[in-house]
Amino acid sequence: MNKNIDIDMNIREQVDKILNYKTVSNEEKIDRLLFINADQYCNLGTESSKTDRQKAEINSRYIYRAIKTIDLYLGSFLLNANEE
């Protein structure tokens, strides 16, 4: 995979913002992060380039690592499942 592909800064900013919420439960944070992940894959179409798909994979790993900071077991599970 090409390491020169940057993480979509908009997604990174959203993830960081969600992680810093103080009044939202951890469960709600994880739900919001998984929603962002699902939404990015829903926006991929049959005409999406290989680069777009790679960006989505990189974004997913970033989101899964963020989830791992909240819930170690779930984050690890998602990262391992993503590698397969």
**Full domain range(s) for residue 41:** 9-83
Q: In terms of pLDDT, which residue wins out, 31 or 82?
A: 31
List, for residues 17-46, the tens digit of each pLDDT value: 999 999 999 999 999 999 999 999 998 888
Q: Per the domain annotation, does 58 fall within a domain?
A: yes
Is 31 within a domain?
A: yes
**CB-based contacts of 11, cutoff 8 Å, min separation 6:** 36, 40, 59, 62, 63
Q: What per-residue confidence (pLDDT) applies to 74?
A: 96
Whether the per-residue pLDDT at 6 is higher than 70: the answer is no
In-domain check, residue 1: no
Domain presence at residue 3: no
Question: Rounded to two decimals, what is the model's pTM?
Answer: 0.86
Q: How many domains does the chain have?
A: 1
Instruction: Give a yes or no: residue 4 inside a domain.
Output: no
Cβ–Cβ under 8 Å, residues 50 and 61: no
